[in-house]
């Protein structure tokens, strides 16, 4: 009799486990949901729209309304994929971003060169040290926290990508383009510090870009 009760308890527990598992809510994996959304949108695009998505055009929030009108034309008629902002003000840039995102058929990627902060392009914003001054820091974690702080500011402006940091090696005295924008002349130190910068931004969900293209160092 004791053996029968033991079997009943065993099968009862097994059935409870099976039905409990079948009744459990399906776990959601956000990254797969996003990939599915991207694929579904891509399938609806025409060839011209796909080509338009490859282009990222410059924008200046310091210019008059004609610049916004030009951008609206590109967004409406050519379905461009993104905007890279240059000189201007943070308030005007937010207005332009909101306007262009509203009229765009597909979400726009918004970017900027903000190597030493938004102040590289925008007035009345925070400026951090040039990368050469960061290269002198003994504590690389400070660069990480700077990256996080900068990323939070980028998000407030509706940005998705910061074209930074500069990972060129400052090994050519005849090239004045980089100079203070480089972490230094030691490739290992430059790589380490640039990684901290990028990690800080990406931990706040802002895309980083290791630049420049070949030719600067």
| Whether residues 107 and 124 fall in one domain | no
Place of tokens 């938004």: 118
Last residue of a domain, one of 69, 95, 112: 112
Q: DSSP strand E in 95-185: where?
A: 109-112, 161-162
Here the tokens at position 208 are 């980083």
Residue-level pLDDT at 153: 99
Strand order in the sheet with 207-208: 56-59, 82-85, 109-112, 161-162, 207-208
| Whether residues 91 and 117 fall in one domain | no
pTM of the entire predicted model: 0.82
Residue pLDDT tens, the chain, 217 long: 445 444 444 444 444 444 444 444 555 556 668 788 888 999 999 999 999 999 999 999 998 777 899 999 999 999 999 999 999 999 999 999 999 999 999 999 999 999 999 999 999 999 999 999 999 999 999 999 999 999 999 999 999 999 999 999 998 887 788 889 999 999 999 999 999 999 999 999 999 999 987 766 6
Last residue of a domain, one of 112, 133, 158: 112
| Whether residues 139 and 174 fall in one domain | yes
| Whether residues 43 and 142 fall in one domain | no
Distance (Å, whole) CA 143 – CA 35? 32
| Total tally of structural domains belonging to the chain | 2
User: 109-112 and 82-85: which strand pairing?
Assistant: parallel
Last residue of a domain, one of 112, 136, 151: 112
Here the tokens at position 216 are 């600067």
Residue 33 is assigned to a structural domain of this protein: no
Range(s) of the domain holding residue 52:
38-112
| Whether residues 87 and 171 fall in one domain | no
Residue 176 is assigned to a structural domain of this protein: yes
Residue 208, strand partner residues: 162
Residue 117 is assigned to a structural domain of this protein: yes
Residue-level pLDDT at 173: 80
Residue-level pLDDT at 217: 61
Contact 133/184 with Cβ under 8 angstroms?
no
Burial 171-193 (b: 16+ CB within 10 A, else e): eeeeeeebeebbbbeeeeebeeb
């Amino acid at each position: 009799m004791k053996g029968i009760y033991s079997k009943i308890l065993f099968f009862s527990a097994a059935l409870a486990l099976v039905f409990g598992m079948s009744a459990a809510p399906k776990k959601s994996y956000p990254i797969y949901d996003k990939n599915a959304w991207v694929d579904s949108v891509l399938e609806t695009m025409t060839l011209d729209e796909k080509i338009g998505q490859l282009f990222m055009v410059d924008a200046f929030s310091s210019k008059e309304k004609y610049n916004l009108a030009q951008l609206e034309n590109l967004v409406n008629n050519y379905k461009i994929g993104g905007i890279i902002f240059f000189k201007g003000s943070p308030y005007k840039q937010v207005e332009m971003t909101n306007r262009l995102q509203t009229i765009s058929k597909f979400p726009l990627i918004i970017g900027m060169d903000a190597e030493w902060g938004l102040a590289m392009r925008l007035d009345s914003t925070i400026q951090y040290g040039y990368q050469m001054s960061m290269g002198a820091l003994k504590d690389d974690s400070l660069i990480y926290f700077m990256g996080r702080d900068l990323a939070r500011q980028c998000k407030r402006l509706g940005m998705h990508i910061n074209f930074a940091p500069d990972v060129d090696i400052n090994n050519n005295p005849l090239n004045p383009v980089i100079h203070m924008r480089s972490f230094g002349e030691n490739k290992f130190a430059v790589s380490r510090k640039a990684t901290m910068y990028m990690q800080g931004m990406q931990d706040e969900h802002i895309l980083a870009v290791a630049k420049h293209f070949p030719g600067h160092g």
